[in-house]
Structure 1
Amino acid sequence: MTGLKLITFDLDNTLWPVDEVIRQAEKTCSDWIAEHHPSAAAALTAERVRTVRDELVRAHPDYLNNLTRLRRDAMARAFIDAGFKEKEARHIAADAFQVFHDARNRVTFFPGALEVLETLADSYTLGALSNGNADLKRIGIRELFGFHHSAESIGRRKPDPDMFQAALQSAGVRPEQALHVGDHPVEDVDAARQHGFHAVWANLIDLRWPGDLDKPEHHIHHLRELTDLLPLFDD
């Protein structure tokens, strides 16, 4: 009997909806710039930052492995393009990113998420595997997790195997003793399957499953459903 020992979770759109969080964080950041650096405000609309981000990623795809560096550099580039000296542009961008990041970590959990995490943490090692830059300590749930690996800390984003391998090493378990729960069909569910994990598709935001991927064996629409599935993985 193998037994499930490790449960890893994606974060954004798995434990909380993220789109509105990012919109609010961008607005908070823009408002802060307008108040503290009004001469820079016109250069740093959310739309302008997204355009610069896209340009940076096209030129250097590895930016996707570090979204903090990408957003900070995009803001600095937008300021430089608007005529600011590089040192000043990077200083304002660094301060503005901290404002953004504080707001980015003010999340509202999906119903039942905290209760499920607290229950599971009593019986399993929990790990967080995220391509984003959420901060579990700022959010207030770091103590529930044995570890948190991200694209920034590992240097490679899901679906590459590095984060999954790091999770197994951190927990000291084999792939068949691990379950990954996430919302993204490719980066979470299919990647976990490819790397030997059990997988549950957490479809809490009503996505369509891609037609070119094998359908998931297990999926949930509410995180409380997860506890009912767990006995299936204790083979």
Structure 2
Amino acid sequence: MKFYRRISQPKLLSFDLDDTLYDNVPIIQNAENKLSQYLSSEYACFKDKTQHDWLLERITFAKLNPALRSDVSKLRLAFLEQAFRDNKIANPVESAHQAFLKFYHWRNNFKVKPEVVDILMRLKKNYTLVAVTNGNAEPDLIGLEGCFTKVYQPKDGLRMKPETDMFDILCEQLSLQSKDILHIGDSPSSDIYGAQSANCRTAWYNPKFQSYPLHGLPDMEFNQLSDLLYFVYY
């Protein structure tokens, strides 16, 4: 664990979820694959579409609909509705909703490792914990029930990190100053830069021992989640 500047004891620990508390890549890949298989098996017009085809089309759709960019659930649902309409599928809204629910199930069909939950619960004895995530993982479905006081996601007008919206409303709702928050995450561009823009303290999770790619170092860097138990004895 490295400290790049002295920080005062935080009052709240804010956690990113995807790729911080678990490896999100295989989870999303599996969910995308299952969704592609479902669409191919249920709808003849999609039987020749590959998972890669769906990805490219969704990227194009996202570029054409920037207002949906922050809310990944709303974006995916709107994309599916458009695909169903374009292919003249009956009841496109309901059909898209059913497909999205299947994806959402597969996306949340895993459990965070018990040792990670144990670290969070030990930290919770000393600090308020919240989640600030750009994704649509549901903590109560993935083994994190009871870990967080609040979960902030980019929806209902809140923009995703690195925009400061979620940090700003966190401070407002919990009556905290941003300097009292330590945000913990793996992404230099969204987690660290976003939290720094909101004047929060930052802890970069760097399990692959990479060089920090941006200007403006985080307040601290750590390589394994158990390092955070330092704050139990801070």
Q: TM-score category by the smaller chain?
A: 0.7 to 0.9
- Residues 45/206 of structure 1: CA separation in 2 closer, same or farther (3 Å cut): farther
**Aligned position for 1:156:** 159
Q: Aligned letter for 2:70?
A: N
**Aligned position for 2:75:** 70
Q: Aligned letter for 1:195?
A: A
Counterpart among 22, 32, 37 of residue 31 in structure 1: 37
Gaps of 5+ in 1: none
Q: Offset of 1:127 from its aligned partner?
A: 0.6
- Residues 112/231 of structure 1: CA separation in 2 closer, same or farther (3 Å cut): same
Alignment of 1:75-86 (within 5 A): 75-85=80-90
Q: Name the % identity.
A: 26
**SS of residue paired to 1:25:** helix
**Aligned position for 1:221:** 223
Question: TM-score when scaled to structure 1?
Answer: 0.86
1:170 aligns with 2:168: no
Q: Aligned letter for 1:166?
A: I
User: Residue by residue, what CA displacement relative to the aligned partner does 1:28-78 show, whole Å, maximum 9, x if unpaired?
Assistant: 22333344x142442653223222222222222122111111112222323
Gaps of 5+ in 2: 1-7
- Residues 155/116 of structure 1: CA separation in 2 closer, same or farther (3 Å cut): same
How far apart are the structure 1 equivalents of 2:211 and 2:99? 35
How far apart are the structure 1 equivalents of 2:184 and 2:135? 15
Task: Single out whichever of 12-21 and 26-35 deviates more from structure 2.
Answer: 26-35
- Residues 82/45 of structure 1: CA separation in 2 closer, same or farther (3 Å cut): farther
**SS of residue paired to 1:176:** helix
Higher helix share: 1
Aligned residue pair count:
228
Question: TM-score when scaled to structure 2?
Answer: 0.86
- Residues 137/108 of structure 1: CA separation in 2 closer, same or farther (3 Å cut): closer
User: Residue by residue, what CA displacement relative to the aligned partner does 1:116-169 show, whole Å, maximum 9, x if unpaired?
Assistant: 111111111111101111111222323211100111145211111111011112
**Aligned position for 1:91:** 94
Whether the aligned pair in 1 keeps the contact of 2:13 and 2:127 (CA below 8 Å) is: yes
**Aligned position for 1:190:** 193
Alignment of 1:90-169 (within 5 A): 90-109=93-112, 112-169=115-172
**Aligned position for 1:47:** 52
Q: Offset of 1:174 from its aligned partner?
A: 1.4
Q: Offset of 1:178 from its aligned partner?
A: 1.0
RMSD, aligned CA: 2.4
**Aligned position for 1:13:** 19
